[in-house]
Amino acid sequence: MTQPAKSETSSAGPSNTESGNVIDAGGADPGARGATVSERIRARAGTLSPAGNRVAQILREQPATVLGMSVGELASQSDTSVGSVVRFSQELGFRGFQELKLQLAGDISTRPPARDKSIGLPGAIFLETAQALSQAVSALDTSVFHRAVTVLDGAHRVLVAGVGTSQPVAADAAYRLQLAGLMTASNPEVHSQHVSAALLGTGDACFTVSHSGQTQETLAITAAAREAGATTIGLTSFARTPLADVCDVVLVAGSAETDYRLEAMTSRFLHLAVVDALYVALSERNPERAEQAHARTLRVVARHRL
């Protein structure tokens, strides 16, 4: 399997991802269809200019007020310039401020009602997760998703890597890919992951999971795999991250912030959903391979049951 040609992301603005095929599953790359203004801002976390951050803060805190503002009024309110507001709008994938306001109006009209306290905390958590999954589906870029499937399907070996809170997702991904019949390796120890990545070669793939896309160890592992000649796939919650710079295919699956928990917890469910989708797609692409792997797995598991 040869290294895929480098291509631009689907973003309307300049991209840090020189080689990114980006699947947007709720992390909302700015050009994504169905992404709210808030999601687009979130996907740019850490990459906006100081002026852009001031505009973003007002949009997050006073969305209804912004609807009644002119571009000049927002510039004055955010202590920026008209040009800064327009550039900010374009960075989010809009032609200009007016188009941003149209999207913002739609976001406000479709915003879910306040949580029903009668359902309690568990019910609120379930609803938030369901809403995050629904948003992810609406923003899914199937063409790039299938690019990831093609890379995995043709790989001789697949190393699945992840550290910290992303490691359990990586472990599940490795197991799912094994069930689909892929030759998969995963190790929770960071140094072992790094060594395994360096021992990959052309025709292999490295599938990395990282919520932030900024974890130093994860970046080192992925870069080592790429330097060794493997094709690199990243699953993260943000479109513009250092991880995207070392990945050939970037799958973005993030979630909106919630009141009750860190967004990384919701994103974990989205990442697991993407992993399940990859498993199903790989199984459908090569059903005989998947059936053989599944049958062997069942025979082994049966030996451990009373």
Instruction: Give residue-wise pLDDT tens across range 67-121.
Output: 888 888 899 999 999 999 999 999 988 989 988 988 888 777 555 555 556 667 7
CA dist 252 and 17 (Å) reads 12
Beta carbons within 8 Å of 235's beta carbon, 6+ residues apart: 169, 173, 207, 208, 209, 210, 251, 253, 271, 274, 275
Q: Give the pLDDT confidence score for residue 20 in this predicted structure.
A: 41
Per CATH, which fold does 37-110 belong to?
Answer: Arc Repressor Mutant, subunit A (1.10.10)
What CATH architecture applies to the domain 132-303? 3-Layer(aba) Sandwich (3.40)
DSSP string, the chain: -PPPPP---S-SS--S-TT-EEEESSS--TT-TT--HHHHHHHTTTTS-HHHHHHHHHHHH-HHHHHT--HHHHHHHTTS-HHHHHHHHHHTT-SSHHHHHHHHHHHHHTPPPPP-GGGHHHHHHHHHHHHHHHHHHHT--HHHHHHHHHHHHH-S-EEEE--GGGHHHHHHHHHHHHHTT--EE--SSHHHHHHHHHT--TT-EEEEEESSS--HHHHHHHHHHHHTT-EEEEEES-SSSHHHHT-SEEEE------SSS-HHHHHHHHHHHHHHHHHHHHHHHSHHHHHHHHHHHHHHHHTT--
Please give the single-letter amino acid code of residue 108. Answer: I
Q: Give the pLDDT confidence score for residue 123 in this predicted structure.
A: 75
Q: Give the pLDDT confidence score for residue 282 in this predicted structure.
A: 97
Q: Give the pLDDT confidence score for residue 12 in this predicted structure.
A: 32
Q: Give the pLDDT confidence score for residue 263 in this predicted structure.
A: 56
Q: What is the mean pLDDT of the chain?
A: 82
Domain boundaries, the chain: 37-110, 132-303
Q: What is the pLDDT of residues 232-286, one digit of tens each?
A: 999 988 777 899 999 999 998 876 544 444 556 778 888 999 999 999 999 999 9
Q: Give the pLDDT confidence score for residue 10 in this predicted structure.
A: 34
Least confident of 28-37, 148-157, 204-213, 228-237: 28-37
Number of other residues whose CB lies within 10 A of the CB of residue 114: 6
Q: Give the pLDDT confidence score for residue 23 in this predicted structure.
A: 44
Count of residues for the chain? 306
Higher pLDDT, 27 or 249: 249
Higher pLDDT, 215 or 11: 215
**pLDDT over 90 percentage in the chain:** 47
Mean pLDDT, rounded, for 199-211: 96
